[in-house]
């Protein structure tokens, strides 16, 4: 895979932004199997980081480059600070950045597929929330979405980081039932003509385990195609997320 560190000026954020990108190659060198292509523009995975991380973390802590190599899959890894992938009440327009500006800019810079059937989004923790928010708000854009140990119950997380949550969301008592609430989005777009497959996983020792047990049944009840995995003995940790990103890529691209 080719690895690029991309800096560009973001109109949404009004500041220079950084994105890490890996792109398919025909020859990967010794010990890494490559795909036959790229004969067509590659599929695209938007891979989102967690609360304490940045755009570098997936490359530093996992073998995502190797996992994507056989799938003709480009991986786009943006940085969003502590924004929860949201237009902050007291800050920057990160939702506009990740949902509109980033995909448009990446397609301008690189030869990438723009077809929904070739587009995926996934993330860990805060990034799991971001991935689900993107997929549930714009179901027509994605083939599959993944949340690994995701912060899927945003209204329930207010007490953990009240200062950050108030800065990002404003009146935190208004999160439930709003477009920041994944449970609300599950119902709001339940009858969308095209809906992506959802992959939702969590370790049984994770502090977000109880939220996982609420979210995936709600998604199933609302009629979404859900695959969920409960991994015994794991907490909020990279040993799990390295395993899950490999599993997600194989699952999402199984018939590609």
The percentage of residues in the chain with a pLDDT greater than 70, rounded to a whole number, is 95
**In Å, what is the CA distance from 79 to each residue of 94, 166, 214?**
10, 21, 28
Whole-number Å distance between alpha carbons of 79 and 49: 7
Both tokens assigned to 11: 């109109």
Which of the four pLDDT bands, split at 50, 70 and 90, describes residue 39? Answer: low
User: Which run of H or of E encompasses 210?
Assistant: helix 209-221
- Mean pLDDT value across the chain: 94
- Structure confidence by residue, pLDDT tens digits, 107-161: 999 999 999 999 999 999 999 999 999 999 999 999 999 999 999 999 999 988 8
- Structure confidence by residue, pLDDT tens digits, 202-233: 999 999 999 999 999 999 999 999 999 999 99
Q: For 202, what's the count of Cα atoms within 13 Å in the CB-facing half-sphere?
A: 22
Which of the four pLDDT bands, split at 50, 70 and 90, describes residue 64? Answer: very high
Whole-number Å distance between alpha carbons of 16 and 14: 7
DSSP 41: P
C-beta separation of 25 from 2 below 8 A: yes
2-252: CATH number? 3.40.50.1820
């Amino acid at each position: 895979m080719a690895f690029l560190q991309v800096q560009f000026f973001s109109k949404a954020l009004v500041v220079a932004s950084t994105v890490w990108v890996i792109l398919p190659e025909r020859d990967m060198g010794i010990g890494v199997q490559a795909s036959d292509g790229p004969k067509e523009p590659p599929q695209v995975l938007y891979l989102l980081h967690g609360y304490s991380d940045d755009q570098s973390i997936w490359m530093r802590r996992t073998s995502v480059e190797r996992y994507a190599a056989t799938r003709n899959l480009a991986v786009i890894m943006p940085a969003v600070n502590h924004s929860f992938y949201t237009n902050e009440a007291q800050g920057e327009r990160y939702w506009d950045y990740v949902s509109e500006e980033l995909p448009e800019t990446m397609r301008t810079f690189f030869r990438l597929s723009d077809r929904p059937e070739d587009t995926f989004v996934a993330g860990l923790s805060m990034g799991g929330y971001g991935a689900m928010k993107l997929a549930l708000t714009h179901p027509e854009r994605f083939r599959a979405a993944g949340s690994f140990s995701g912060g899927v119950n945003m209204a329930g997380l207010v007490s953990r980081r009240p200062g950050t949550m108030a800065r990002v969301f404003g009146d935190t008592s208004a999160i439930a039932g709003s477009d920041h609430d994944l449970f609300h989005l599950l119902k709001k777009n339940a009858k969308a003509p095209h809906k992506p497959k959802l992959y939702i996983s969590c370790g049984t020792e994770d502090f977000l385990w109880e939220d996982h047990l609420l979210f995936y049944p709600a998604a199933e009840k609302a009629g979404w195609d859900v695959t969920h995995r409960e991994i015994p003995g794991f907490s909020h940790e990279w040993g799990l997320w390295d395993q899950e990103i490999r599993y997600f890529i194989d699952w999402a691209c199984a018939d590609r």
